[in-house]
Structure 1
Amino acid sequence: MITWSPSKIKAFQKALLTWYDTDGRDLPWRRDHDPYHVWVSEIMLQQTQVNTVIPYYNRFMDWFPTVTDLADAPEERLMKAWEGLGYYSRARNLQKAAKQVVEDFNGKWPRTAEELLDLAGIGPYTAGAIASIAFGEPVPAVDGNAFRVFSRLLEIDDDIAKTQTRQVFEQVIGTIIPTDRPGDFNQAIMDLGSSYMTAKNPDSENSPVKAFDQAYLDGVEDQYPVKTKKPRPVQIPYFGLVIHADDRYLMEKRPSTGLLANFWTFPLVKRETLLTGLEHPETVTDEELVTLLEHEVAETDGLKLHLTPRSGKQVTHTFTHQKWLITLMDAEWSGDLDLSYFPGEWLTASDFERLALPKVQDKMWQRVRPK
């Protein structure tokens, strides 16, 4: 790892911030230093591109203009505001943290990164971003951009897939971040990482900090950052049950914990569940699988159905560690369906416009909805 002298650090700060003052992105949450605005934008930007976030952010602020409005919002409306961004636990943690600010801090935000870590859903990066941008604390905000930028600038060989590597970068950046403009510095690093120092096809030749980019100068920037590959998501086959009567669909309310908690979905049955206990599961035919599925639904939910495969490809959706492969199965309501043991109810097509739908559910609905 390369180390910089105090004079080089000063020169880097000047080059970076001069560029940022001229060419930094004009984003709606940068027009003030309100911690609420910084916080909401940073949570939205996790796993989501800036251009996608902007309309969501603007609508969110229209619906919940203050932290108190967010704390008091009905969960259904909050989920609708978040629909399409995915990772819905982020939205739930937003509301939990908003209630903490209102109830535990009398509506006044904690002003240091260390204190901000006590709020639900706020980790080291978000705490650093809020503390530096809103309150001027000279702490780094280490995200993917910061890992990429500083690993190339200083040829840091530590594996960023390892948890302990964050401390290495925090210590290094802590010696470089200016005390007078820490928020602008962190935002400039974000902009640099999304423009000249991107993961693929960087434009380092025209970068405002080219002279400080040691990996570029040494012709090895494609080797940074060092990161071991994540294992591929595990594929999990499901059956999705499309039980319908006219414009009504029998929907299941997911449990309050786990993946897609509290959301409405078409009933889902794991293929593995049907094969558990069979002596030779590999010999089961597609027709036998349908029979097993009908038996499972009858045993578990008390629903006696005649199921037929819906034409078309499987619906697929990838979560962080799982990839769902969903075969849609049709069943028409027979008129005497007993819902005593079923954790759900009939919903109409118009209900789908009102309810927040997880992305995988929306994919299923787009295949099913009347054209």
Structure 2
Amino acid sequence: MDIPNPELVEALLRWYAANRRDLPWRRQRDPYAIWVAEVMLQQTRVETAISYYERFLTRFPNVHELAAAPLEEVLKAWEGLGYYARARHLHRAARLLVEKYGGEFPQTFKEWRRLPGVGPYIAAAVLSIAFGQDLPAIDGNAIRVLARLAAMEEDPRRPAGRQRLQTLAEQLLPSGRAGDFNQALMDLGATLCTPKAPRCSECPIQMFCAAFRQGKPEAFPVRTPRRRLPHYDVTAGIIQDGDRVLIAQRPPQGMLGGLWEFPGGKVEPGEGLEDCLKRELQEELGIEVKVEEPVMTIRHTYTHMRITLHVFRCRWIGGTPQPIGCADVRWVPIAELERYPFPNTDRKIVERLRRESHEA
């Protein structure tokens, strides 16, 4: 892999100085604010993250406030962003920072990597941007720019490809300017060196780009085909007692941990939807129901699977709801459901119930 000449870095930094995006977390050097932003930006577009970030910082303005808050309150502030493990890890890390470091932030890569949910990218991003350390932070946008610069034949998701990118980034990194360099790569990838139809004619480092010289920038980064996502049918029950509805809290660990949902579960092979729902409610809550009319069908894609959620109205006919296969269970007035953090799928059920209650 040829390493482009130092003029590349100067051209990139000049472009960044004139074209950098005005983002709220860039208006300060507070490591807490930068850390929260970087966690949110994993798996979330900048445009979506901004409003969540501003609300989150208003509610939890520093690591002490975040550490002191109940997890459920943190999850509620995160509601709608998805990938809720990020919020749980952020909360656990905040408590660890307060308990072990007195609320101060560590300044070594090794210590940052010990924090829950902190991978190599977040550690390098915070240390380079907030503390000025000479570390390359390679996000998805930077991967695309670097892979195109070198017309890299390896898949960057594989170990060999990741190492090639890391080596290239380290050799390009300007001493004392790592924060600007890392953010310049991010901005270039987000605005010009996009996955489709990159605006090569406007790129400040076009003359150094091997993929551009080959006339096929969209061919990079190389991607090994992924396997098709599995699909599952899932059921959920709306169980009402007057103006109250029954909701269950997922266990704190695992997928969507700590969030509330309308109880139900995954359909087993050869099982009908109604039989599944009756079985799940008996196993998880210890209650018997009569499954009545279907209410809605919701399709959703996660990173590792696709689901179709079949929602039914149910009539409670026996048993006392108890948290057998969940963390907690509650009867909640429909008007108060907004206080609880729900996954995106179940938020649609909440919206449906609120509309029905207003129309009644």
Structure 1 length-normalised TM: 0.89
Structure 2 counterparts to residues 272-291 of structure 1, below 5 A: 272=268, 275=269, 281=270, 290-291=274-275
8 Å CA contact 2:197, 2:218 repeated in 1: no
Q: Report the residue type matching 1:3 in the other structure.
A: I
8 Å CA contact 1:309, 1:327 repeated in 2: no
Alignment partner of 1:307 out of 291, 297, 306 = 291
Say if 2:187 is the partner of 1:203: no
Q: Secondary structure at the match of 1:307?
A: strand
Identical aligned residues as a percent = 39
Q: Distance in 1 between matches of 2:323 and 2:172?
A: 62
- The match for 1:151 is 147
Deviation at 1:228, TM superposition (A): 1.1
Deviation at 1:112, TM superposition (A): 2.7
Unaligned runs of 5+ in 1: 276-280
Say if 2:236 is the partner of 1:240: yes
8 Å CA contact 1:317, 1:325 repeated in 2: yes
Q: Distance in 1 between matches of 2:165 and 2:244?
A: 54
- The match for 2:348 is 363
- The match for 1:294 is 278
Q: Distance in 1 between matches of 2:313 and 2:54?
A: 39
8 Å CA contact 1:15, 1:209 repeated in 2: yes
Say if 2:344 is the partner of 1:348: no
- The match for 2:122 is 126
Q: Report the residue type matching 2:74 in the other structure.
A: L
Query: What are the superposed Cα offsets for residues 230-249 of structure 1, whole Å, 9 maximum, x if unpaired?
Result: 22221111111111133211
Say if 2:137 is the partner of 1:141: yes
Going from structure 1 to structure 2, the CA distance change for 1:249 and 1:20 (only over 3 Å counts) comes to same
Going from structure 1 to structure 2, the CA distance change for 1:362 and 1:164 (only over 3 Å counts) comes to farther
- The match for 2:89 is 93
Structure 2 counterparts to residues 317-332 of structure 1, below 5 A: 317-332=300-315
Query: What are the superposed Cα offsets for residues 147-177 of structure 1, whole Å, 9 maximum, x if unpaired?
Result: 1001111111111121342222111110101
Q: Report the residue type matching 2:355 in the other structure.
A: P
- The match for 1:338 is 320
**Max Rg structure:** 1
- The match for 1:316 is 299
Query: What are the superposed Cα offsets for residues 46-65 of structure 1, whole Å, 9 maximum, x if unpaired?
Result: 01111111111111111111
Say if 2:202 is the partner of 1:218: no
Going from structure 1 to structure 2, the CA distance change for 1:300 and 1:15 (only over 3 Å counts) comes to closer
Q: Secondary structure at the match of 1:237?
A: strand
Alignment partner of 1:257 out of 233, 253, 258 = 253
- The match for 2:170 is 174
- The match for 1:117 is 113
8 Å CA contact 2:274, 2:291 repeated in 1: yes
Deviation at 1:296, TM superposition (A): 5.8
Query: What are the superposed Cα offsets for residues 201-235 of structure 1, whole Å, 9 maximum, x if unpaired?
Result: 11011111111122112202121001112222211
Going from structure 1 to structure 2, the CA distance change for 1:292 and 1:118 (only over 3 Å counts) comes to closer
Q: Distance in 1 between matches of 2:226 and 2:236?
A: 29
Q: Distance in 2 between matches of 1:321 and 1:215?
A: 31
8 Å CA contact 1:2, 1:155 repeated in 2: no
Say if 2:19 is the partner of 1:23: yes
Q: Distance in 1 between matches of 2:149 and 2:250?
A: 47
Q: Secondary structure at the match of 2:232?
A: strand
Unaligned runs of 5+ in 2: none
Deviation at 1:300, TM superposition (A): 6.0
Going from structure 1 to structure 2, the CA distance change for 1:299 and 1:174 (only over 3 Å counts) comes to closer
8 Å CA contact 2:198, 2:218 repeated in 1: no
Going from structure 1 to structure 2, the CA distance change for 1:320 and 1:341 (only over 3 Å counts) comes to closer
